[in-house]
Amino acid sequence: MSVSTTPRTQRFVQVDVLTSSYRVVGKVLVTNTGVIGLMNDVTNSFFEVHDARLARVHMPTKLVDHFSVVRMVKPRVFAVCVARREDLGPHGLVRGGFAKAVRYPVRVTTQVYELEGTLEWPGRFDFSAIMADGTRDFIPLLEAHLTAILIPALNIESPAALFNRRQVDLLALKTQRAEE
C-alpha cells in the first residue's frame, strides 16, 4: 500500500457549533488533526455535522429540528465547543507550535456571544499577531465559558472551544481589568 492510498484514521467528535442564530449539537468527523485541523483547513470552507440537533439561539433548550447531516459554512461560525480538550487536536497544533506557551485569561466578545477562558500563546501577548497573522481563523480557548449577550439562558461551559477570530469585536486580558 503506497503512502497516497493509506486510509486516514477518522473518528467522530461531539461538538456544539454556534452561529449568529442557531446552536447545532452533533458530531463532526475528524482526522488525527482533530477539530482544530478541520476548522482551520484552508482548502475547504465547509464542514458537515452528523446527527445534528438544531436550536434557535433565543430558545436554546427547544429543539427545532434534527438532521442526519447538516452542512455548515466556516466563516459564519462564531464558536465550536468540545467536550474534551483532547478533541481539539494534537497539543503542538493547538498551541501553534512547541514553544513554551504562556496562559492568558481573556474575555472575547463578538456581535452575539461573550467568551471567557484561557488563551495559550507562545511568548508575550500580541493582539495583532493573534488577530491577523497566519492562516488559522479558529483560535483555541481553554476552560471556556460562552454566553449569548442578549440571551443569558444560553450558557455553555466547555473544557475547550474554538472562536472565529474574524467574528471578534474585542479581546481583553482579564489581568488588565481596571481597579474599582
DSSP for 36-50, written as a single string: HHHHT-TT-SEEEEE
Question: Which distant-in-sequence residues (6+ apart) come within 8 Å of 63 by Cβ?
Answer: 53, 54, 55
pLDDT band at 92, cuts 50/70/90? low
Q: Is residue 25 part of a domain?
A: yes
Q: Is residue 92 part of a domain?
A: yes
Q: Is residue 1 part of a domain?
A: no
Q: How many domains does the chain have?
A: 1
Q: Is residue 135 part of a domain?
A: yes
* Nearest-10 Cα torsion for 95, 43, 165, 103: 0
pLDDT band at 20, cuts 50/70/90? very high
The domain in which residue 140 lies consists of: 8-176
Taking only the tens place, the pLDDT of each residue in 24-50 is 999 999 998 999 999 999 999 999 999
pTM for the model stands at: 0.88
What pLDDT is attached to residue 122? Answer: 81
